[in-house]
Amino acid sequence: MKKIQYIFILVILTMSSCNDYLDVVPDNVATLEYAFLDRVGAEKFLFTCYSYLPDFGSPGADPAILSGDELWIHAENEWYNSHVGNFHTYHIKLGQQNITNPLANYWDGGYSGINLYKGIRDCNIFLENIHLVGKDLDSLERARWIAEVKFLKAYYHYYLLRMYGPIPIIKENLPVSASIDEVRVYREPVDECFDYIVSLLNEAVPDLPLQISNVATDYGHITQPIALAIKAEVLVTAASPLFNGNQTYENMVDSRDIHLFNSTYDENKWKLAMDACKNAIDTALLANHKLYEFNDSRYPVTDSTKLIMSLRNAFTERWNQEVIWGMPANTAQSLQHLSLPYFTTNDISGSRTQPILSPTLTMAELFYSNHGVPIDEDTEYDFENRYKTSISTDEMYYINKGSLTANLNQHREPRFHSSLGFDSGIWFGNGRYKDVGQGNSSEVSWVLQAKSGEVSGKASSIRYSATGYFVKKYSHFETATNSTGITYVRMVFPIMRLADLYLLYAEARNEYMGPDAEVYQYLDLVRERAGLNGVTESWSQYSRFPDKPSTKTGLREIIQQERNSELAFEGKRFWDLRRWKIADQTMNTAIKGWNVEGNTEIDYYSLVTYDILSFTTKEYLWPLKQATIRVNPNLIQNPFWEN
């Protein structure tokens, strides 16, 4: 077989000399040829293409977890590194992104980032060589593998596009004979990038299966619902303000005099997104995806707790029917390890968990009231006195009856309680599986005691929640400590679930059609599962702005808050705030929490400010590494990062 040699684009990688220009593979040629001799070798190369997927849900590597305003950590300590890795993504929100050594560098790799262009290169190698495999790979399986790799290639381009804006499109690898001018590629206009990604997804869909047939071996492989759901998300992103009519970047012009951003708003992009979302929903339903409901006969619980468990398990229950695409690697174990509070003194002494992922007060205030409207709009919610305390008397399945707690924690929607743990809050599972009022004191749901000196409170200088809140959503309810340690129930971090898709469709349809019955329908499906009445009913009865759902602008705001509530802590808000182009309004905020040093109600329930975040316009797009631009001057830096 003639040896095939590849080079990869010099500009994509960080290089310091001409010898480092080209990512040449001649020393891998023998391995490459061997890889495509038979089905086994080709399948291994297929897994290599999958291996570049970002570590979704990893606190140390996924910028959508720690780089936004949802979570805070009180300190950096080498002690955590075995569980988190370095805190590079966390530093992004602290204003430490830079052009010398960019954090979460997915362009060149480094600082918790993966070089996704290497992933694209390997996808191209696969697509250019899969035809070499003999008869032991049948035509249907070959077509499916090609479709999977086309999806991965599209997704890697999309992940880069979301971070950097205009990117080089790598349709095929260059031959070793390519000239330096050919290797010095350009960033392509954003619209062309989106079009190319969508075209790859369209090519992939027909040869992908509707469902996984072999659960034992194939979960994690790409299906039609996955590809169509991501296509929907891609097109919603393309239609969103960051990429649709964004005049901030109208002067982003390269040396070819090509404008890389189209600053003219195009309403038809929302039509394309709307149609893609509906197609994805129809296909997902055809594949038997549905909104998850907790119905485990081993745990006979009240309707109130069942509702909480439906919302919590929609995220944590491995491969439940709502999960369209999940991260099969067990990245979510670190989420559990870093979020579960201490329930017993043995937990503290054994350091079985390290509860440092602390939800911010911003997130605690974001969820609706129990009437399904924002707490600052609810005519019956005492918003002005939300930081004061009172005795809880009528929410026994959510808050320990008779306990003194902040008004902010009371009379809130079920998603508040399914997502957050707090002082005096009820916590079902994780070692106790009897509902409130159903068992003895060693069996019934936990009551968190989070003041200083209490079992769930500050127990040392490093292992505690800085804000007084815990992410209940991050732990599977059957993960539990025992006399020797902790037993984790394996989770799959959801990259896309059906509720997300419903809300994307509601958003796209509202932007294109305005408020109508179908927008309300899909919005209300998500709200109904969350135990809330429909949008129009809730606003007409309880909001100070009863007509808000009847206007496109008002309903847009509602849909955005609905996404923030339903998908809290799932890595969605970080990207949503950017594509909506409101991060500069939302992220410039103080990070606050309760005074966890306090050991009395008066001291504990006083607000503490930990830091003040600063988000500037330049941070909507990641910077390119300065050295990368020096190697290839055809690449221009993203706006406002020049100095």
Three-state SS for 379-424 is CCCCHHHCCCEEECCCCCCCECCCCEEEHHHCCECHHHHHHEEECC
Residue 147, SS3? helix
pLDDT tens string 467-511: 999 999 999 999 998 877 889 998 999 999 999 999 999 999 999
Determine the Cα–Cα distance for residues 386 and 406; give it in Å rounded to an integer.
7
Helix, strand, coil share (%) of the chain residues, nearest 5: 45, 10, 45
- More confident: 210 or 13: 210
Q: Which of 428, 531, 530, 440 is nearest to 480 (CA)?
A: 428
Percent of the chain with pLDDT over 90: 81
Q: Which of 77-91, 110-124, 145-159, 315-329 has the lowest mean pLDDT?
A: 77-91
Locate tokens 């200083």: which residue?
452
Tokens at residue 35, please?
């890889």
Determine the Cα–Cα distance for residues 52 and 55; give it in Å rounded to an integer.
9
Report phi then psi at 181, rounded to 5. -65, -35
Rg (CA), the chain: 25
Report phi then psi at 611, rounded to 5. -165, 170
Tokens at residue 326, please?
């999940």
Determine the Cα–Cα distance for residues 593 and 598; give it in Å rounded to an integer.
12
Rounded to an integer, the average pLDDT of 296-322 is: 96
Kind and range of the H or E element at 71?
strand 71-72
Give the pLDDT band of residue 422 (cuts 50, 70, 90).
very high
Give the pLDDT band of residue 596 (cuts 50, 70, 90).
very high
Determine the Cα–Cα distance for residues 92 and 86; give it in Å rounded to an integer.
12
Task: Give me the sign of the Cα torsion angle 162, 236, 373, 336.
Answer: negative
Rounded to an integer, the average pLDDT of 387-400 is: 96
DSSP 136: T
pLDDT at 554: 98
pLDDT at 2: 36
Locate tokens 């503490």: which residue?
608
pLDDT tens string 324-342: 999 877 667 889 989 999 9
Q: Whole-model pTM? A: 0.94
Rounded to an integer, the average pLDDT of 597-612 is: 95
Highest mean pLDDT among 144-148, 178-182, 218-222, 610-614: 144-148
Q: Name every residue whose Cβ is closer than 8 Å to that of residue 302 and which is 6 or more positions away in sequence.
A: 397, 435, 436
pLDDT score of 459 more than 90 = no
pLDDT score of 423 more than 50 = yes
Determine the Cα–Cα distance for residues 204 and 221; give it in Å rounded to an integer.
13
Residue 130, SS3? helix
Task: Give me the sign of the Cα torsion angle 371, 372, 377, 381.
Answer: positive
pLDDT score of 173 more than 80 = yes
pLDDT at 83: 56
DSSP 494: E
pLDDT score of 599 more than 80 = yes
pLDDT at 482: 81
Tell which phi-psi region holds residue 293, choosing left (phi > 0), alpha (psi between -120 and 50) or beta.
beta
Q: Which of 568, 599, 596, 606 is nearest to 406 (CA)?
A: 606
Tokens at residue 567, please?
């998908």
Contact between 335 and 474 under an 8 Å Cβ cutoff? The reply is: yes
Beta bridge partners of 175: 6
Contact between 235 and 241 under an 8 Å Cβ cutoff? The reply is: no
Determine the Cα–Cα distance for residues 69 and 607; give it in Å rounded to an integer.
17
Contact between 321 and 292 under an 8 Å Cβ cutoff? The reply is: yes
Rounded to an integer, the average pLDDT of 581-608 is: 95
